[in-house]
Amino acid sequence: MAGSNKKLVRMRLSALFLRIAVFVAAALITWGAARVSVTVLEQRSTVAVQEALLDEGQEWPTVIADGLQIILEGEAPSEAARFRAMTISGRIVDASRVIDNMHVTDPEGLAPPSFAIEILRNDSGVSLIGLIPAATDRDALSARIARIADGQPVTDLLESADYPMPDNWRPALNYAVDALAQLPRSKISVAAGRVEITAISDSADQKRLLEARLSREAPDGVRLALQITAPRPVISPYITRFTVDADGARFASCTADTEEARGKIVAAATAAGLVGRVNCTLALGVPSATWSDAVSLSIGAVAELGGGTVTISDADIALVAPEGTDQALFDRVVGALDNDLPDLFALDATLPVAPEADEQGPPEFTATLSPEGLVQLRGKISDDLMNQTVENYAQARFGRDAVRMGTLVTDGLPRGWAVRVLAGIEGLSYLSNGSVVVSPENLTLRGNTGDPDASAEVSRLLIEKLGEAAQFSVDVTYVEALDPIAALPTPEECIAQIGIVTAERKILFDPGSDSLTADTQPVIDDIAEVLRACLDIPMEIAGYTDSQGREEMNLALSKNRAEAVLTALRARRVPTGGFVANGYGEADPIADNETEEGREANRRIEFRLIQPEPTPEEQTALEAAEDAPAEDSSEDAPQDAESTAE
């Protein structure tokens, strides 16, 4: 019995040892497989990162795998190269797994890197990427960008390198950030002495305003590449009108859907005798892709007839030949045009017959608009009701007190006379000054305007009101001085006007406080009126005190007084997006603080433009980089133009 029990124990022990051996073997196999997997993963990551670096021309880094981490070692030729290696590796594996054990070659004797920034702004926020000099005030730049973003996210991917700041870097960067504040949808590239701006505006008028403002604000020594686009307008009906007469060849309205189409139309007009610049609007709404073919053929027909007018409105073409045109020539030209026109377009051609002589002469209506805005209406009207209608319509367009009536109610006027008179008055309202003459056969509108598109808009209006075959002449001259955008004062002129306002009157505060006195309110009103007529200029409101009292107290008081002026301007609805208020305490006295008169003069508010100090363009950015680096200059002083309120 005892022997049987011993045998059973031995069997159980053998089974236990066998199980333990199997477990240990399985653990060893699992560990080995895991080790192999880790090794394979390390090798694959190492090879992938190394190949990516080689593909980008980065042969100097050594790639080492340690578990899931990728370690980069080696001597980088520059800070930019080190940053580039980290960026490339972060695209292959998770950037958090990349360990930087690289060091940068001693920069002495090496050319500095190319400092550059790409700034993107859209409805999702602002992002910055690039390399900047270590001497750049990073905190001030971040604060300005945050104010521009106005609560939207700011993604800052800028790196810095400890190299001397290149010439014209600071003015280029300052200008780029100022431009960013004006461009909600833009990409701005900044390099030393160069800024490239690509942006989208809301309208053609805003595009013109931005181009004028940004070009004017570009600092000396900074080259500007500016490309602002505006959404194309949608025009309906889609109209082009071309005339050849004794005064020459001209467009009353020119519209095209593409640059290629515009070139084809202008080429046809030039061949027909057009001389000078053509304002042919690119717009949406074209009725057919063959629009330019139809317009070019129609213009060619007018040239072949030796004159006349052709109006293309959507798919309808109205051609009016000159009076006295040979019938055979007219039939041949019109027949050829009708057969050559693309499908969809319909031609209506007219050969006018000379009117019979009238002893009393044809009826006529005239309206004149003076530069002061006064309107005089003279000529024939069909009845009393129409006469009252014309007066009311003119008053609605020009103002009740601006209209003077000198019309005569007459029977027997041509059909559609009232429509022609009202259309002429409406066309006149597009001008700054001018006249319109309405006759049975023609309507002539002449004058000046500050809108470069007024001629085309008036022509579209008359075609819509009178029909494509109607005879009219539009002779409108664009005068830049009448353009409300082009006529805006420059920032320097605005500062000069503030200087005139404050030449004899001073901005005053209650003693020891930042509260504006009652006597100062009219001065602030006048300054606000000047600024409302200006662009949203970058301007500093600087406060100063005399030397009485502690320096810290004076500094705080001057700051508070400058902010009080800024607040007062905001309350008067002045656009102050580019304004800052700073206090300088008792610094920069303009008079002797030992006398009461001198102290009173030193207690002042100054208005001055914020813009980089002009730097002579003696070298290009490339030449500056090749030469020995210059010493970093101090911050640019924002004092190009200033006005002191005394």
For residue 302, give the nearest of 242, 238, 346 by alpha carbon: 242
Report the C-alpha gap between 380 and 418 in whole angstroms: 10
> What angle (nearest 5°) sits at the alpha carbon of residue 637, between those of residues 636 and 642?
145
Report the C-alpha gap between 295 and 88 in whole angstroms: 55
Render the burial of 100-137: b for 16+ CB within 10 Å, e for the rest.
eebebeeeeeeebbebbbebbbeeeebbbebbbbeebe
Report the C-alpha gap between 83 and 371 in whole angstroms: 64
Whether the Cβ atoms of residue 317 and residue 438 lie closer than 8 Å to each other: no
- The 3-class SS string of 450-502 reads CCCCHHHHHHHHHHHHHCCCCCEEEEEEECHHHCCCCCCCCHHHHHHHHHHHC
343 backbone dihedrals φ, ψ, rounded to 5°: -55, 150
pLDDT for the residue 636: 42
| H or E element, residue 518 | none
pLDDT for the residue 309: 93
Report the C-alpha gap between 585 and 556 in whole angstroms: 7
pLDDT for the residue 215: 84
pLDDT for the residue 214: 87
DSSP state of 416: T
Block means of pLDDT (10 residues each) for the chain, length 646 residues?
Answer: 60 66 62 57 79 85 82 83 84 81 67 85 91 90 90 90 88 91 92 92 82 84 86 85 91 90 93 87 89 95 93 92 89 88 91 62 87 90 90 91 86 89 93 92 90 86 86 86 71 85 86 88 90 81 90 91 92 83 91 88 89 49 47 42 50
